[in-house]
Amino acid sequence: MTDLLQLVFSGLAQGAVYGLVALGFVAIFSVREIVNLAQGEYAALAGLSAISAVAAGIPLLAAVLLVVPMVVVVAVVLERLCIAPVKRMTPLVSIILTLGISTALKAIMLLIWGPQGRGLPPFPGKDLLVGGVSIRSQELWILGIAAIVGFAVVRAYEHTLLGKAMRACAEQPIAARLVGISPRTATMIAFGVAGFVGAVAGVIGSPVYFSSWDYGLALGLKGFVAATLGGLVSLRVAMAGGLVLGVLENLVAGYVDTGYRDAVAFLVLLLVLLVRPQGLVLRAPAVRV
Amino acid sequence: MARLRTLTVVTVAVLALALAGCAESTSGGNTGGSSGGNGNDNGPIKIGAVLDITGAGASLGVPERKTLEMLAQQVNDSGGIDGRRIELLIEDNQSTEDGAAKAASKLVQTEKVNILLGASRTGPSLAMRPIAEQAKIPMISLAANEKIVTGSEWVFKTAQNDRVVIEKIVDDMTAKGYKKIGLARDASGFGEGVAETFTELGKDAGIQIVATEKFAPDASDFTAQMVNLRSANPDAVVIWGIPPAASLAQVAYRKVGPKVPVYQSHGIGNQVFLDTAGDSADGLIAPLVRMVVADQLPENDPQKQTVTTFINDYKSAYNENPSTFAGHAYDGFMIAVNALKEVGTDPNKLRDAIENVSDWPGVSGVFTMTPQDHSGLTKEALVLVTVEKGNWKLLEGQAG
C-alpha cells in the first residue's frame, strides 16, 4: 500500500509537469490551428537559464522570476519572426516551422550550456515522510504551482473576455475579425501563454528531473500526448491528462517493468487516436468551416 | 471532418517529432584538418577517435575529447612521433550505436586513420568493433564491458572490466557479510550482464541478487525502482549507471530506497556526479581508480607520478579536475602513441606492440596486456572510495 501511494504521489508530481507542457499545446491550438513542437524547448530553456542565473549568484527566487518572463519574451519574439509572417498557416506548415524552431533552440542550448544535464537547487522547504511515503518538498512546490498556474490559465481562457475572444478566432476566424478581434494579436498572446506555462514547468521540474539541452524533446512528446487526450482543445483535460500519464508511467514502471515506462505515453497516444481522435471530451468539438 | 482533421494533425506531429529524434543522430563533429594519405611515411599520423560527446554519454565523452586534444597538442609540441605530426580526428557518435558505426566507418574508410580510439560507452564500442576488425586496424575502446574485447584480435580497451569492479565490490560485501543484494542498473550496454556476473562471483560467499531494477540512461524519475528495491528487503544496494542517471538514482535512493548501505559502480568517477548527487552521495561506496583520490595516495604508489602530472596538465589546460573517463582517454591515447613510437604505423606491428604492453603505469592502473587479456587491468587498479561532504575520500587500508 505504501508502495502504491509512493508511486502515485511521485507520478502526480511528474504528471503535473507534463500537464503544464500540455497546457502550452492547447493554449496555442485552441486559438489557431498551430501545433507548436517547440513547446518542450521552453521548459529546457527556462531550466538551464535559471541554473546559470543561480550559478551567477542571483538568489533562486529572483532567478525564477527573471527567467520565466524571459522565456515568454523568447516565445513571443519567435512567434513574431517565424509564425506571424506566414500568410496561409495550415497545421502542416506550423509543424514544419515549429520543428525548425525547436531544432534551432536545441542547437543554441547545446552550444551555450554544453551536453551535460544539471539540476536547479530545490526550492526552500523540508522533505516529509507521511505514512511511509516520502514527499520531497520540491514535489509539493510542483503540485502547488502547477495547480495555481493551471487554474489561472483555464480561468483566463474560459471566463475572461480576452480568453473568449481568443478562442473565437479558432472557431470563426472571419466572424471574429468582423467583430474586431485580431487573430494576429490572439496568436501572439497564445504563444506568450505557452511560453509561460512551459517556462514554469521547466523551472519547477528542474530540481527533481534536471534540465539539459535535449530534455525538451521527451517532455514535449509527453505533454503532447496529454494534450491529445483533450483533442488538443480542452485545457482541463490536457492538465488532467498530464497527471494521469505521470501516474500511469510510474505504475507501469513499478508493477510491470521499468523498461516500459517510456512506452506508456505512446500506447496512450495510439489508443486515443484509434478510439477517440477528437479527444476524451464529451462534446464533439465545434464544427470548423 | 473535425475528427479526421485532428487525426491527421496529430499523426503528422508525431511523425515530425519522431523524425526530429532521428535527425539528432546524423550530423557529426570534426576537429583537425584533413590532408595527406596514410601510406605516406612522412605525412601526419592519423589517430581517429569516436566519442559520446552529446547525448546520454556526454559526461564521459566531453572530458575524453578534452584529454585527447590536450595530449595530441603536447605530443606535437614536443616534435611529434619520429618527426611526424599527429593528426587527431574526433567524431561525435551522439551516444548512439549507429552513430558510432557510421563515424568509425568514415574514419577508417575515408580518412584512413592508423588507429581508432573509442567509443566512450560499451554499446557504441561494440558497434565499432566489427569495423576495426574488418579493416584490420587496432582499436582501443575507452569503455568497460569485457564483451568489447572478448576473443578479439584487434580490439583493446583501457577501462577496467566490469568483472574486476564487481570482484572488488563482492570482496567488500563478503567482508561485511552482506548476502541479499538489490541491484538498480542502467538498461543500456553499460549495465548488461552485471546481475549475472554478481551472481557468478558472489556464489561462494552466498551473495545473491534478490531484485534487479533497470533504468534508461536518460531516465528522470527513479521512485519506482527504489520502491521495488525497498520491498525486496536487501542487505545492500548496488546502483550501476553513469551520471546524471546515477545521481538521480542516488537521490531517489536516499529518499525512498531501503535504509541499507549503497554501492555505486566505477561509472560515477567524475565531478558531475558529485555536483548533481549533492548531499545524498555521502557515505556511498564505489570502486574507483586512484586518480580521484590522487592527493591521498602514498608517495610509493606506482601510479602517483603519472596521475599527478596528468591532473596538473589537465587543470592548467581546462581549469577543472579531470574525470576517470579523461583517465581512460589518457591511457588509450598514450598506449597508442607509445606503440606508434616503438614500431611505426604498420597495423600488424602496431597491434603486437599494444598486446605486449607490460607493467605500464597509466592513469587508470598498471597495464599488462596479453593475447588473452586485451584489457590489461586487474582489481588492483581500483580502490574503494566514499564521499564525504562532497569530496571523494579513500577508504582505510585501500592504497599502497
pLDDT in tens, B240-279: 998 889 999 999 999 888 999 999 998 898 888 998 898 9
Same domain, B88 and B136: yes
Burial (CB < 10 A; 0-12, 13-18, 19+), residue B110, is exposed
Report the residue from B6, B24, B227 with minimal CB separation from A277: B6
Could you tell me if residue B184 is inside a domain?
A: yes
Report the residue from A92, A220, A250 with minimal CB separation from B223: A250
How many domains are contained in chain A? 1
Could you tell me if residue A220 is inside a domain?
A: no
Same domain, B154 and B172: no
Condensed to tens digits (0 to 9), the pLDDT of residues A176-205 reads 888 888 888 999 999 999 999 999 999 999
Could you tell me if residue B112 is inside a domain?
A: yes
Same domain, B80 and B224: no
Distances (CA, A) of B147 to A231, B125, B192, B197: 48, 10, 10, 12
Contacts of B153 (CB under 8 A, 6+ apart): B133, B351
The phi and psi torsions of B38 (rounded to 5 degrees) equal -115, -15
Distance from C-alpha of B342 to C-alpha of B336, rounded to nearest angstrom: 10
Same domain, B317 and B349: yes
Domain that holds residue A68: 24-215
Test B255 with A127 for CB contact under 8 angstroms: yes
Through-space distance between the first and last CA atoms of chain A, rounded to whole angstroms: 51
Interface confidence (ipTM) of the complex? 0.73
Test A3 with B227 for CB contact under 8 angstroms: yes
- DSSP string across B336-385: HHHHHHHHTT-HHHHHHHHHT--SEE-SSSEE---SS-SS---GGGEEEE
Nearest chain A residue to B279, by CA: A121
Same domain, B193 and B51: no
Could you tell me if residue A247 is inside a domain?
A: no
Mutate to test the interface with B, among A89, A127, A142, A210 (most CBs of B within 10 A): A210
Could you tell me if residue A151 is inside a domain?
A: yes
Mutate to test the interface with B, among A116, A271, A275 (most CBs of B within 10 A): A116
Could you tell me if residue A231 is inside a domain?
A: no
Same domain, B143 and B101: yes
Query: Model-level pTM greater than 0.95?
Result: no
Domain that holds residue B340: 45-160+307-378
Q: Which chain B residues are within 8 Å of A116, Cβ to Cβ?
A: 58-59, 62, 244, 272
Test A115 with B55 for CB contact under 8 angstroms: yes
Same domain, B152 and B172: no
Same domain, B124 and B102: yes
pLDDT tens digits for chain B (400 residues)? 556 666 677 777 776 766 665 544 443 334 344 344 444 567 899 999 999 998 878 888 999 999 999 999 999 999 999 889 999 999 999 889 999 999 999 999 999 999 999 899 989 999 999 999 999 999 999 998 888 999 999 999 998 888 889 999 999 999 999 999 999 998 877 788 899 999 999 998 899 999 999 888 778 889 889 999 999 999 999 999 988 899 999 999 998 889 999 999 988 988 889 988 989 999 999 999 888 888 898 888 889 999 999 999 999 999 988 888 899 999 999 999 999 999 999 999 999 999 999 999 999 999 999 999 999 998 888 999 999 998 999 987 665 4
Q: Which chain A residues are within 8 Å of B61, Cβ to Cβ?
A: 115
Question: What residues are paired with B208 via a beta bridge?
Answer: B180
Could you tell me if residue B215 is inside a domain?
A: yes
Test A278 with B6 for CB contact under 8 angstroms: yes
Could you tell me if residue B18 is inside a domain?
A: no
Mutate to test the interface with A, among B25, B53, B227, B268 (most CBs of A within 10 A): B227
Could you tell me if residue B238 is inside a domain?
A: yes
Could you tell me if residue A232 is inside a domain?
A: no
Same domain, B168 and B266: yes
Could you tell me if residue B169 is inside a domain?
A: yes
Report the residue from A7, A117, A287 with minimal CB separation from B244: A117
How many domains are contained in chain B? 2
Test B62 with A116 for CB contact under 8 angstroms: yes
